[in-house]
Amino acid sequence: MLKRLLVENYALIDKSVVDVQPGFSVITGETGAGKSILLGALGLILGQRADSKALKDAERKCVVEALFDVSKYGLQSFFDSENLDYDDECIIRREILPNGKSRSFVNDTPANVSTLKSLGERLIDIHSQHENLLLNDSHFQLKIVDAIADNEKLLADYRNVYSKYEEDKRALARLQEEVARQNANRDYLEFQLKQLQDAALEKDEQTLMESESERLSHSNEIKESLSKALWLLDENEQAVNPSLKDAVAALKSACQYMPEVAALSARLDSCLIETKDIVRELEVRCNDVEVDPNRLDAVNERLDLIYTLEKKHGVDSVGELLSLQDSFDTQLQMLDSSVDEVEVLEKRIAEQMKSLLSMAEKLTAARKKQAPKIEESILELLRCLGMPNAKLKIEFRMLREPCVNGLDEVNFLFSANKDKSLQPIASIASGGEISRVMLSLKSVLSQSSDLPTIILDEIDTGVSGEIADKMGDLMWQMGKSMQVVSITHLPQIAAKGTVHYKVYKMDDENTTTSRIRQLTEEERIREIAQMLSGSSLSEAAVNNAKELLQASR
């Protein structure tokens, strides 16, 4: 229940504090006095969009703060789930800074706008004037049926499955699109992979092949050079080795008479040993040199394949070609895996659809079971509101596939008179009839919900006289089980309130300010008298006001 509302620096309001009483309260005031401003301020703490243009003084922050008594509404678990401190008295505060940014607090704990909305839905219902237009909206009508039928848990369970179903459907669509794109590329990938696999590439073979090709291409020159070196070292008449051998023998002979030559003799002997070893290796290498045109052709053909593949794929090495081969193979494996994943998702979605259909059938049954009771409850109220011949029928139509609300689309069919057939309600009902239907719906809703507070913004539009009196009685009756606040221009309804507030404007030299205050008994008589007679206050109007107030007690 709303206990206090503080509004500071918002629109035409400099600072107002309203202590709101339980039961049925009314708010009156001239058109433009600021009644809608109060609703706008209240909307801020219920999570509506904040705008710095709403600041009365652009240099100061705007503050809206509401105190609620939540002790009787079982909100402890909600506070726990949102990591908020729970107290039987809950303070919601919203601040709009001059730079347009806003801050929100619940019991002094920072909270985001979505939390305010969720909490607000559990605390207060504001029926704005435009909500009458929603009466022709099928979703709004279905929401009413579910609220009165107490389908909250059924609907929450259904929507939980539906949310997962929609999420999986989106995932499947994305995956199928990706699979289709990859499938269009499958033949290309398979061809490229096969070509590289058939090439049977090895990481270092390009370097080895290029070296072998170079050697085979010059095998004749190599063999000739090696043979010449052998001839010069060991085979011709003036070969190096025989000459070295004779030189070593000569130095050894000289050593007998000149010992200091022994070192030179040893060094030259080492040279002879080394040249002999070189000759042996040259003989082996020369024999190994193979002049093989067929092998050269095979090596060059292999190199041509490697160079062609490198050029085709824009790489410079066999290692990069092998990396590409792995990549193509991985992509094809992923494609196969994606196909398997599609099958898993399709199976899961099919199971979800079965669950949705089963749960939707339960929802439909619950709705249809309550529909006659809802119709009768509303018609009973409409009869009390001066519509004895009203007829109301909740028509159900099954959808082709489940949606977020199940398989049902509902339509409120209505007729206010005996000789009129049932038609969609908003297409045939007058403004006054719509107002009475909406009030009846709100009354039935209030009986089936634990909502602490409802604010009715001129729900009496289009009615007057006796009907207004009866609407006031109904609001007063609703106020026995919840807090009801009605913004009204009708004296018959204003007289029904247990508490009466007035919104008015005050002007000074520089500004216009909206204010609100609770009226005393005498002020209330005067206010209702002015509502009856206009600006010229007559004694008859005052007496009439007193009679209205007396009759309402």
Pick the residue with more confidence: 399 or 74?
Answer: 399
Query: How many C-beta atoms lie closer than 10 Å to residue 358's C-beta?
Result: 11
CA distance 230 to 236: 9
Instruction: Quickly count helices (H) and strands (E) in the chain.
Output: 18, 15
Mean pLDDT of the chain: 86
Average pLDDT of the segment spanning 124-128: 82
| pLDDT beyond 80 at 48 | yes
Q: What is the pLDDT of residue 130?
A: 64
Domain range summary for the chain, segments of one domain joined by + = 1-127+451-463+478-519, 187-333
Average pLDDT of the segment spanning 22-45: 87
pLDDT band for 131, please (50, 70, 90 cuts).
Answer: low
Q: Which residues contact 519 (CB under 8 A, 6 or more apart)?
A: 500, 501, 502, 527
Q: What is the DSSP string of 446-469?
A: HHH----EEEEESTTTT--HHHHH
Which CATH code fits 1-127+451-463+478-519?
A: 3.40.50.300
Q: Which residues contact 83 (CB under 8 A, 6 or more apart)?
A: 109
| pLDDT beyond 80 at 23 | yes
CA distance 542 to 490: 15
Measured N-to-C along each axis, helices 318-384 and 293-313 cross at an angle, to the nearest 10 degrees, of: 30
Greatest mean pLDDT range, 5-14, 181-190, 279-288: 5-14
User: Range with the lowest mean pLDDT among 166-180, 237-251, 383-397?
Assistant: 237-251
Q: What is the DSSP string of 337-372?
A: HHHHHHHHHHHHHHHHHHHHHHHHHHHHHHHHHHHH
CA angle 205, 208, 214 (to 5 degrees): 135
Q: What is the DSSP string of 277-322?
A: HHHHHHHHHHHH----HHHHHHHHHHHHHHHHHHHHHT-SSHHHHH
Instruction: Report the percent of the chain where pLDDT is more than 70.
Output: 96
Greatest mean pLDDT range, 183-187, 246-250, 329-333, 476-480: 476-480
CA distance 94 to 96: 7
Query: How many C-beta atoms lie closer than 10 Å to residue 511's C-beta?
Result: 11
| pLDDT beyond 80 at 52 | no
In the chain, the amino acid numbered 226 is L
User: Range with the lowest mean pLDDT among 74-83, 181-190, 389-398?
Assistant: 181-190
pLDDT in tens, 208-223: 888 878 887 777 888 8
Which residue, 125, 107, 102, is CA-closest to 46?
A: 125
**Coil, strand or helix at 429:** coil
Q: What is the pLDDT of residue 357?
A: 94
Pick the residue with more confidence: 138 or 552?
Answer: 138
Which residue, 473, 372, 504, is CA-closest to 12?
A: 504
Report whether 518 contacts 19 (CB < 8 A).
Answer: yes
Q: What is the pLDDT of residue 204?
A: 86
| pLDDT beyond 80 at 359 | yes
Average pLDDT of the segment spanning 260-276: 87
CA distance 122 to 120: 5
Report whether 106 contacts 94 (CB < 8 A).
Answer: no
Q: What is the pLDDT of residue 134?
A: 66
Which residue, 392, 427, 522, is CA-closest to 136?
A: 427
pLDDT in tens, 447-488: 776 678 888 888 877 777 888 889 888 999 888 888 999 999
pLDDT in tens, 479-520: 888 899 999 989 999 999 999 999 988 888 778 888 899 999
pTM: 0.64
Residue spans of alpha helices (H) in 135-261: 138-148, 152-184, 186-199, 205-217, 219-230, 240-254
Q: Which residues contact 472 (CB under 8 A, 6 or more apart)?
A: 490, 492, 493, 494, 495, 496, 552
Q: What is the pLDDT of residue 64?
A: 93
Q: What are phi and psi of 529, to 5 degrees?
A: -60, -40
Query: How many C-beta atoms lie closer than 10 Å to residue 481's C-beta?
Result: 12
CA distance 461 to 242: 133
Query: How many C-beta atoms lie closer than 10 Å to residue 82's C-beta?
Result: 17
Report whether 408 contacts 364 (CB < 8 A).
Answer: yes
